[in-house]
Chains A and B, each alone.
Chain A
Amino acid sequence: MQFLANPARFLRIANAVLPPLAILTIALFAGGLYYAFLASPPDYQQGDSVRIMYIHVPAAWMALMTYASLAVFAFLLLVWKHPLAEVLAKAAAPIGAGFTLIALITGSLLGKPTWGTWWAWGDARLTSVLVLFFFYLGHIALTHAFDDATRGARAAAVLAIVGVVNLPVVKFSVDWWSTLHQPASISRIGGSAIDPAMLTPLLLMAGAFLGYFLCLLLLRARAELARRKRRALELLAAESGV
């Protein structure tokens, strides 16, 4: 962990990892989209609208995973004051907000043909994911609310850790309050309840989303480091009166 505190070292690793990671992500997307839209059967009840699920479920998984990683970065930042954690947290929050928004919108599109409604306030899974989205927004707003970037990052880290209470609510909402949203069907006791013909595209898409997240995270962290470097140079230039 101390090893990565040096931004130059982190940049070297990020630059080496990014090209193969990007190629792998593109390959996964190509395979996943092919299976999701062409090579998998329509659902016997939902018809072709089940194909939205191949976007919806990976996006929802990534929304939760991104928040969990945000909380880990926040912890590293508050406990060890790790400089890279600050950059990564700032980079990760908007990506997570994007995944959450995709999950909400595709869920809504999937809800209309299957449940007959775009949105149901009575469903705990829907509302808890909306709250997750609000936490992302609060995190982004707090990060940018201070003139001192480090102060903003640390305040946002406190919020990220407090917001972890929402994660189990999102995960278990379908078991605690069983209303519209179906419970977990892939990782459950007694084996997966989903047909392999549908599991293949789903897992490929999940891998693609994960790769996409990592690519974006590294790209945004790289951009943030460059922005900081430019700002430091500008300050230096202003001080020396050039």
Chain B
Amino acid sequence: MNGFTLLLARDLRLAWRRPADAAVALAFFIVAACLFPFGVGADQQLLTRIAPGVLWAVALLATLLPLERLFLADAEDGALDRLALGPHGLATLVLAKAAAQWLIVALPLLLAAPLVALLLNMDGRGFGALIAALALGTPTLVLIGTVAAALATGARRGGVLLALLALPLELPVLIFGAGAIDAALAGLPFVSHLQVLAGLLLGSLVIAPFAGAAALKLALE
């Protein structure tokens, strides 16, 4: 096995031993989305109108929540120093952490999204676009969040800081993700939105491992 699969398997094993951690993000996603019907009222048409944006904004926050401890446990028990000295390099570690995080946190969101969309009275025509956009967009969110988590490792109030750092960078994903669903709901082609999301994903796949590795190096100094 190469370094990436080893590190990914390690993180998945660790997450498997504590399934509650992954469930919290999913619960947050559902509960936070349910705040909106309570807040704006039970007007079905209004809910239908805001459903794509609400779904994306809440999914974005749900992927950010569990990131605070992403590198913290490894930094505290010294595993991070050991991994930095190891043969695989920090960029591989960042990529493996992001992949594990996507499988643990984002994939359940993806599966729960149609249910939440139903709660928000979203039209059935948007479901295909919803799943496709989330599948292409959430990896980008996790990659950006991983870099922010690496930057905030060891900071005071790291969780809030992390959100402040990641949110401006994640705005394009939100815009095009919600745009894809809006286009599908209006009966328009949404392939161009998905192409932009795929482009953002490819770009962040190239940049995030190195930016994250640079940030982790600072945490280790």
Contact = CB atoms under 8 A, between A and B. Distances in A.
Interface in B145-163: 147, 151-152, 154-158, 161
Q: Interface size bucket, A side? A: 20 to 34
Interface string B152-183: 10111110010011011101000000000000
Interface residues of B, number: 22
A78 interface: yes
A95 B147 CA distance: 26
Nearest to A147: B156
A81 to B, nearest CB: 11
Among B164, B214, B221: residue with most chain A CB under 10 A: B164
Interface in A135-156: 135, 137-138, 141-142, 145-147, 151-152, 154-155
A142 B155 contact: yes
A203 interface: no
Nearest to B175: A127
Contact of A145 (B147, B161, B219): B161
A132 to B, nearest CB: 9
Contacts of A145: 152, 155-158, 161
Contacts of A166: 168
B145 to A, nearest CB: 13
A134 interface: yes
Contacts of B152: 142, 145, 155
Given A134-B167, A151-B218, A162 B161 contact: no
A76 interface: no
Given A131-B168, A134-B168, A135-B168, A158 B215 contact: yes
B167 A151 contact: no
A141 B214 contact: no
Contact of B165 (A131, A138, A146, A152): A138
Given A131-B171, A142-B161, A158 B154 contact: no
A219 interface: no
B211 interface: yes
A137 B164 contact: yes
A144 B21 CA distance: 29
Contacts of B154: 146, 151
Among B147, B152, B155, B171: residue with most chain A CB under 10 A: B155
Interface of A: 78, 131, 134-135, 137-138, 141-142, 145-147, 151-152, 154-155, 158-159, 162-163, 166
Given A145-B155, A163-B169, 19 more contacts: A131-B171, A134-B168, A137-B164, A138-B164, A142-B152, A142-B161, A145-B156, A145-B161, A147-B156, A154-B218, A155-B155, A155-B215, A155-B218, A158-B215, A159-B165, A162-B169, A162-B211, A163-B168, A166-B168
Interface of B: 147, 151-152, 154-158, 161, 164-165, 167-169, 171, 207, 211, 214-215, 218-219, 221
In order of increasing CB-CB distance, the 8 nearest A-B pairs are A145-B155, A134-B168, A155-B151, A154-B218, A138-B165, A131-B168, A138-B164, A145-B161
24 contacts: A131-B168, A135-B168, A137-B164, A138-B164, A138-B165, A141-B164, A141-B165, A142-B155, A142-B161, A145-B152, A145-B155, A145-B156, A146-B155, A151-B154, A154-B218, A155-B152, A155-B215, A158-B151, A158-B211, A158-B214, A158-B218, A162-B147, A162-B207, A163-B168
